[in-house]
């Protein structure tokens, strides 16, 4: 049975991919490694490669997409195909690094984390908040379950990551680049750049959607991923 590795974004766990996992399990061995103790992207990649043997398909959202791209660059023989969702190959800007520094310095207890998620993260997650309150509640729940230490570790990894832009052309595995039409964090233009630099990539934009298409538009997102992986659209029931 082939393996699929699902890589969640910042302060998310396997619940991010729940619509997809139940459809993959009959045909794939599914892994969802949670990067909770690693403090760098390279450390996360090393953990993944040491924990999961053999080759696999990668599906990564946001931070998970950064990890997926890095794996495909560092050890291409392990990657059968890749789905990159709402992610970016660029390093943090100076302004973004400063914002992360402030978050890291001020997240000392659960109430601090709840404030950061509510005021600084959630406003950028979905396109239509009125119809996605359940998504935002899930994001808060995942973040609070993971806790402050994981937030600090993951933010540090993102803050200090290197740009992958000059290495994307070395990726030759089949790649689906998927993004929400109205993603504020990783806009469509960034995904167009990824598609242009990876030779075997195709871009698919999810309409009326923000940073979390797998939760905002689970049926359409899952259909596209399953079709890409070879499952076929007719098997998708969300």
Domain count, the chain: 2
Range of the domain at 60: 3-89+163-235
What pLDDT score does 201 carry?
97
Please say if the pLDDT value at position 203 is more than 80.
yes
> Measuring CA to CA, which residue among 63, 65, 183, 191 is closest to residue 123?
183
Flag whether pLDDT at 236 surpasses 90: no
Same domain, 170 and 65: yes
For 199, other C-beta atoms within 10 Å of its C-beta total: 14
Specify whether 45 is located in the same domain as 149. Answer: no
58 and 125, same domain (yes or no): no
Burial class (CB in 10 A: 0-12, 13-18, 19+), 1: exposed
pLDDT tens readout for residues 67-82: 999 999 999 999 999 9
CATH of residue 210's domain is 3.40.50.1820
Domain check: are 70 and 175 in the same one?
Answer: yes
Domain boundary residue, one of 104, 135, 156: 156
Boundary of a domain, candidates 156, 186, 209: 156
**Each residue of 212-228: pLDDT tens digit?**
999 999 999 999 999 99
């Amino acid at each position: 049975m082939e393996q699929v590795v699902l890589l969640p974004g910042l302060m998310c766990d396997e619940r991010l991919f729940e619509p997809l996992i139940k459809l993959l399990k009959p045909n794939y061995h599914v892994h969802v490694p949670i990067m909770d103790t690693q403090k760098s992207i390279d450390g996360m990649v090393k953990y993944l490669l040491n924990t999961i043997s053999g080759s696999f398909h990668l599906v990564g959202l946001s931070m998970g997409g950064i990890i997926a791209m890095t794996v495909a660059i560092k050890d291409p023989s392990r990657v059968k195909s890749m789905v990159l969702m709402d992610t970016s190959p660029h390093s943090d800007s100076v302004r973004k690094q400063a914002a992360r520094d402030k978050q890291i310095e001020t997240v000392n207890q659960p109430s601090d984390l709840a404030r950061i998620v509510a005021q600084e993260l959630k406003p950028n997650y979905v396109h239509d908040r009125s119809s996605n309150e359940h998504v935002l509640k899930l994001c808060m729940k995942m973040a609070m379950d993971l806790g402050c230490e994981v937030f600090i570790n993951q933010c540090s990894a993102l803050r200090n990551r290197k740009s992958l832009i000059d290495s994307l052309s070395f990726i030759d595995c089949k790649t689906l680049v998927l993004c929400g039409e109205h993603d504020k964090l990783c806009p469509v233009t960034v995904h167009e750049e990824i598609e242009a630099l990876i030779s075997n990539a195709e871009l698919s934009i999810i309409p009326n959607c923000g940073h979390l298409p797998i939760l905002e538009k689970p049926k359409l997102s899952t259909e596209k991923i399953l079709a890409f992986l070879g499952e076929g659209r007719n098997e998708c029931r969300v």
